[in-house]
Amino acid sequence: MKKHNFSAGPSILPEFTKEETAKAIIDFAGTGLSVMEVSHRGAEFQAVVDETIQLIKEILSVPEGYSVLLLQGGASLQFYMAPLNLLVKKAAYLNTGVWASKAMKEAKLVGEVIEVASSKDKNHTYVPKGYEVPADVDYFHITTNNTIYGTEMFSDPEVCVPLVADMSSDIFSRPVDISKYDLIYAGAQKNLAPAGLTLVIVKDAALGKTGRTLPTMLNYQTHIDNGTMFNTPPCVAIYAALQTLKWIKNLGGLEVIQKMNVAKAKVIYDELDRNKCFKAVVPNKEDRSLMNICFVMREGYEAVEADFLALAKQRNLIGLKGHRSVGGFRASTYNALPIESAQALVDALKEFEANH
């Protein structure tokens, strides 16, 4: 029976990505060697890197004057690397959850950090609005999607300072105006590739202004100057990313992906709003994530939470348990999740309601 993978990350990847990467693990580009064991300096793998970067630029419409880097260390390293390269004196952050808080903590090691707004008062179940970003900060940092709490920002903020974004869990899920950002970073283990790869898109003109001497590996310019291969890159993850990018392009690009994601999320949210046993954690529909749908038992049904997880297991609905810090349930509906899986979850929600 088909498995329906709602895991938050590492998460579901397209069948095409898995199949093509599996082939390359046995025989890469007709070399008779595995992509796990070929030289990253060889012509065959250089072609992979070049095509991956070209497709990222094409699919995201990256303007001239930006560099695309394929790094390691995840978003967690970028929490420190970003301010190290961009923060001169002071930066502003929007606090929308755990990952935004972690990013703020690391930035404070580099300079002054201002929290312009926070959704902590309601356990991060909404996206703050109506805040003001000081004009004298070096940049404003946002986390566009919050995997733990299920909120998402769907538009690029209009601010008069450089904009930095952690897009780890919603990049490639919708069109983005890259020109509004000085820096975008994303761990790949959601919509792009297996864990181990980190995508960075940086505006070249934003670099070299801090006056500090940077560690070689933590300097974006190092990786720009070395064609994003200063040291050995995560070869398998990059190859997998290339397959995912081909899959996105063949589907029709981000406009098509976005329509698919909206349709999947609507199926689930509509049922949660109707169901007598379950409800969505995020009350405001405009703040509800298309990537991570968080839900809980309605009042009076809390005692049977484990029963639903047992039913989910029987129905091959995988990865629905909520983050350990908040509990409840979480259905992660990343790009590769088919709408059939969303419907399978809805069927289970209805079945549970009928039995209780």
Contact 148, 326 (CB under 8 A): yes
Q: What is the average pLDDT across 202-207?
A: 98
Instruction: Establish whether 166 is a catalytic residue.
Output: yes
Tokens of 137: 């900060």
Alpha-carbon torsion, ordered 271, 274, 279, 283, to 10 deg = 100
The CATH code that applies to domain 4-12+253-355 is 3.90.1150.10
Over the chain, what is the mean pLDDT? 97
Given pLDDT bands bounded at 50, 70 and 90, which one contains residue 105?
very high
Would you say 181 and 163 are in contact if contact means Cβ atoms under 8 Å apart? yes
Class of domain 15-251: alpha beta
CA-based nearest residue to 77, from 52, 99, 92 = 99
The pLDDT confidence band at residue 324, using thresholds 50, 70 and 90, is confident
Confidence category of residue 284, pLDDT binned at 50, 70, 90: very high
* Contact present, 183 and 203 (Cβ < 8 Å): yes
pLDDT digits (tens, 9 = 90+) for 251-263: 999 999 999 999 9
In the annotation, is 136 catalytic? no
Q: What pLDDT is stored for residue 327 in this prediction?
A: 82
**Domain map (residue ranges) of the chain:** 4-12+253-355, 15-251
Q: Which of 56, 53, 139, 147 is nearest to 100 (CA)?
A: 147
Q: Greater confidence, 302 or 64? A: 64
pTM above the 0.95 mark? yes
Query: Exposed, middle or buried: residue 224 (CB in 10 Å: 0-12, 13-18, 19+)?
Result: middle
Choice among 99, 182, 246, 247 that is catalytic: 99
Q: Choosing from 138, 190, 264, 287, which is the catalytic residue?
A: 190
Tens of pLDDT, residues 220-244: 999 999 999 999 999 999 999 999 9
pLDDT digits (tens, 9 = 90+) for 68-80: 999 999 999 999 9
Q: Beta 198-203 vs 183-187: how paired, if at all?
A: antiparallel
Asked if the domains 4-12+253-355 and 15-251 are classified in one and the same CATH topology, the answer is no
